[in-house]
């Protein structure tokens, strides 16, 4: 990890890691969702993927795949 030898980057890495740790520890207590919330988010993501596929079909397909992965994760995590 050559970039950690520079003092400014090391300081940034440590501060961002500590902030990320705080977010991970604090955020899950307030997260609640249901199957309906997961479906609503999947529907919105699907609309974005469809609109994106008009401009760039390959990117739209990748976005749609990410929507499916996010929906499955939401069902597993919250369901």
31-55, pLDDT tens digit by residue?
Answer: 677 888 999 999 999 999 999 999 9
Q: What is the pLDDT of residue 1?
A: 54
Distance between CA atoms of residues 71 and 35, nearest Å: 10
Q: At what angle do helices 57-78 and 35-55 cross, to 10 degrees?
A: 170
Residue 70 Cα to chain centre, angstroms? 8
pLDDT in tens, 3-35: 556 677 778 888 888 888 777 677 655 567 788
* pTM for this predicted structure: 0.60
The domain spans of the chain are 1-31, 32-79
pLDDT for 3 equals: 56
Retrieve residue 62's tokens.
């990748």
For the chain, percent of residues with pLDDT exceeding 90: 46
pLDDT at 65 over 90: yes
């Amino acid at each position: 990890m050559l970039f950690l030898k520079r003092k400014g980057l090391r300081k940034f890495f440590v501060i961002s890691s500590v902030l990320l740790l705080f977010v991970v520890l604090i955020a899950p207590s307030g997260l609640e969702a249901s199957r309906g919330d997961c479906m609503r988010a999947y529907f919105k993501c699907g609309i974005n993927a469809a609109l994106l596929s008009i401009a760039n079909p390959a990117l739209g397909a990748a976005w749609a795949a990410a929507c499916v992965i996010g929906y499955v994760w939401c069902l597993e995590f919250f369901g």
